[in-house]
């Protein structure tokens, strides 16, 4: 018990520092620079500020026994806190458009999801087997990589062989792609490869020290980034490399890895602000905000809108071919622009609790976290035979893709089914790799 409390105390202090940096260092600068784009201003409200910190304390107490063992649950929970939970609390506290009562909906969502993991952690014995049986194949790594490379070249040729060497060109490239949309089938191939398969293969080959395959995966990923300028795709490769180095340096010590993730993000927050303050560079500030602030801002705008309007009931998701959306052009645009969208209109797409509320209101914030927890647990079990660094990356990839896209998109085309199938396809090869975790 004493060791459990000591570990939890260290995590809590690190999370406290991370939240303070978000509240008082990053957000004031970010919402000053990008208020025109986000539609928000940095506004202090004593009521929301107090509720933000009360919620933070509740969620940290809720996780008191989620960091007590050095297993894969600790990185999963750490990733959820630093990417989703703490930025959500900070955005709620200071954005001008979030009303004081709206914190209740994401709080319900996160308490249920963390509760699911608490229950699974108590029941887990580390020897689970897959509950869904898929025949295990033994594909040649070369064959899979060749198929992906061919698909990449087809997409790149369709786009006119673009090469993006500057981050500032990415927005224009994205608008150009929207103006000349890909054929549907090619678009699916493009998103599968760029957002899921190639980052997955890059991390796998890097983990297995197949350097040539790693390099080819990276080149293909860069070519796909050049088509739509999606900077978050490039970030996945940087994260996979940094994680590989971190796991090797820490000798797969889970606690050290989790501490390093939080500390590293604290430094990144400071660096983003320092680059802007000293050199006027906004690229890092923009990208950090795109990852951590905008999805949560969209989530709160979704609550504000759908509290007073008709919820979607999956009519823009798996039921879109059966029922018409009540919002012309789709709610992703309608929330901000009504029916007056243009080519340059920003899409307010959202995942996790924002998507849950959009589709089913309060009921969605109860149902969705149970489904998401179960899905993440199935992916976790399918990774049991892999070593730690690859497990963490895949779980990060799952959380990462869940933030900005709807639940069923995430499940069917956003990575879940693809990663599960890839894990099973490589199952025989993965017998060589065992999870080794040192306390």
pLDDT in tens, 45-60: 999 999 999 999 999 9
Of the CA atoms within 13 Å of residue 416, those in its CB half-sphere come to 18
Please state, in angstroms and rounded to a whole number, the distance separating the CA atoms of residues 311 and 334.
13
pLDDT in tens, 162-171: 888 766 556 6
**Contact indicator for 229, 178 with CB cutoff of 8 Å:** no
* Among the listed residues 103, 120, 5, 113, the one whose alpha carbon sits nearest the alpha carbon of residue 61: 5
Q: Which residues contact 275 (CB under 8 A, 6 or more apart)?
A: 281, 284, 285
Please state, in angstroms and rounded to a whole number, the distance separating the CA atoms of residues 365 and 367.
6
* Among the listed residues 10, 125, 128, 126, the one whose alpha carbon sits nearest the alpha carbon of residue 67: 10
**Contact indicator for 94, 42 with CB cutoff of 8 Å:** yes
pLDDT in tens, 288-342: 888 899 899 999 999 999 998 999 999 998 888 889 989 987 888 888 766 555 5
pTM over 0.95: no
Check whether 64 has a pLDDT greater than 80. no
pLDDT in tens, 127-166: 555 544 444 444 567 788 999 999 999 999 998 888 887 6
């Amino acid at each position: 018990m004493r060791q459990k409390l000591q570990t939890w105390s260290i995590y809590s202090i690190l999370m406290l520092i991370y939240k303070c940096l978000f509240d008082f260092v990053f957000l004031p600068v970010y919402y000053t620079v990008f208020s025109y784009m986000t539609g928000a201003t940095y506004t202090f409200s004593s009521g929301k500020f107090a509720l933000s910190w009360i919620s933070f304390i509740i969620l940290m107490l809720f996780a008191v026994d989620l960091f007590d063992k050095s297993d894969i649950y600790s990185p999963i929970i750490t990733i959820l806190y630093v990417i989703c939970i703490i930025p959500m609390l900070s955005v709620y506290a200071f954005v001008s458009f979030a009303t004081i009562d709206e914190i209740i909906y994401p709080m319900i969502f996160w308490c249920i999801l963390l509760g699911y993991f608490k229950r699974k952690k108590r029941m887990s014995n580390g020897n689970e087997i897959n509950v869904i049986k898929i025949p295990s194949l033994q594909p040649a790594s070369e064959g899979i990589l060749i198929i992906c490379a061919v698909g990449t070249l087809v997409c790149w040729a369709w786009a006119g062989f673009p090469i993006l060497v500057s981050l500032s060109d990415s927005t224009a490239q994205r608008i150009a792609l929207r103006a000349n949309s890909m054929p549907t089938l090619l678009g699916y191939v493009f998103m599968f490869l760029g957002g899921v398969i190639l980052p997955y293969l890059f991390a796998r080959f890097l983990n297995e020290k197949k350097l040539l395959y790693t390099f080819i995966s990276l080149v293909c990923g860069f070519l796909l980034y050049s088509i739509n300028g999606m900077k978050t795709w490039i970030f996945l490769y940087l994260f996979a490399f940094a994680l590989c180095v971190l796991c090797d340096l820490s000798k797969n010590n889970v606690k050290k890895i989790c501490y390093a993730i939080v500390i590293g993000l604290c430094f990144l927050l400071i660096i983003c602000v320092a680059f802007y303050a000293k050199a006027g560079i906004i690229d890092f500030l923009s990208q950090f905000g795109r990852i951590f602030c905008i999805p949560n801002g969209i989530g709160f705008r979704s609550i504000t809108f759908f509290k007073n309007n008709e919820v979607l009931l999956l009519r823009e998701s798996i039921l879109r071919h059966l029922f018409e959306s009540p919002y012309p052009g789709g709610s992703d645009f309608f929330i901000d622009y009504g029916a007056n969208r243009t080519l340059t209109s920003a899409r307010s797409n959202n995942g996790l609790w924002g998507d849950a509320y959009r589709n089913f209101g309060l009921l969605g914030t109860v149902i969705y976290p149970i489904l998401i927890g179960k899905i993440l647990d199935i992916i976790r079990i399918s990774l049991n035979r892999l070593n730690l660094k690859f497990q963490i990356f895949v779980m990060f990839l799952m959380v990462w893709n869940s933030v900005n896209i709807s639940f069923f998109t995430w499940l069917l085309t956003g990575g879940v089914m693809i990663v599960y199938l890839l894990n099973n396809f490589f199952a025989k090869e993965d017998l060589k790799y065992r999870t080794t975790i040192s306390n």
